[in-house]
């Protein structure tokens, strides 16, 4: 991918991922999301288990696994589908930065070396 194509792709992703960047500013924005959605929609564990073809303990294991960051996307997607939802995930730079800003930081780091941020802060 050429640099102009990369820049256009970053700009497009930055627009599409804006809501995710906002969520990414929080410490654990999606921790417990499966349980929260289930409880908010008032969907019983037994209903989800039946739709997924598993026992209730598996559904509860999925919720626990998600809270511990040990669940697979496939499992999350299956459970979301059983609740009438769809799994949509995003990858965003930490701290709510844009991809464009992160790419620029990486460029400056490669040009000026690892300590460039400290040098810039010192000169302010």
Residue whose pair of structure tokens reads 């809270």 in the numeric block: 67
Segment (H or E) for 115: none
Q: Give the pLDDT confidence of 1-38 residue by residue, as tens digits.
A: 788 899 999 999 999 888 888 877 777 767 789 999 99
Answer with the residue of higher pLDDT: 101 or 47.
Answer: 47
How many other C-beta atoms lie within 10 A of the C-beta of residue 45? 16
pLDDT at 122 over 70: no
Q: What pTM, to 2 d.p., does this model score?
A: 0.72
* C-beta of residue 121 within 8 angstroms of C-beta of residue 53: no
Distance CA 94, CA 4 (A): 24
Model confidence at 124, in pLDDT bands (50, 70, 90)? very low
CA–chain centroid gap for 89, Å, is 5
Q: What total of structural domains would you count in the chain?
A: 1
For residue 102, give its domain range: 3-123
């Amino acid at each position: 991918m050429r640099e102009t194509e990369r820049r256009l792709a970053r700009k497009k992703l930055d627009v599409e991922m804006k809501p995710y960047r906002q969520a990414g500013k929080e410490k654990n924005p999606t921790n417990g999301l499966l349980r929260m959605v289930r409880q908010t929609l008032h969907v019983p564990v037994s209903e989800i288990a039946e739709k997924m073809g598993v026992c209730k303990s598996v559904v509860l294991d999925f919720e626990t696994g998600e809270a511990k960051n040990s669940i697979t996307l496939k499992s999350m997607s299956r459970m979301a589908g059983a609740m009438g939802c769809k799994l949509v995930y995003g990858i965003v730079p930490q701290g709510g930065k844009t991809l464009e800003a992160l790419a620029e930081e990486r460029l400056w780091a490669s040009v000026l070396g690892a300590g460039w941020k400290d040098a810039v802060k010192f000169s302010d």
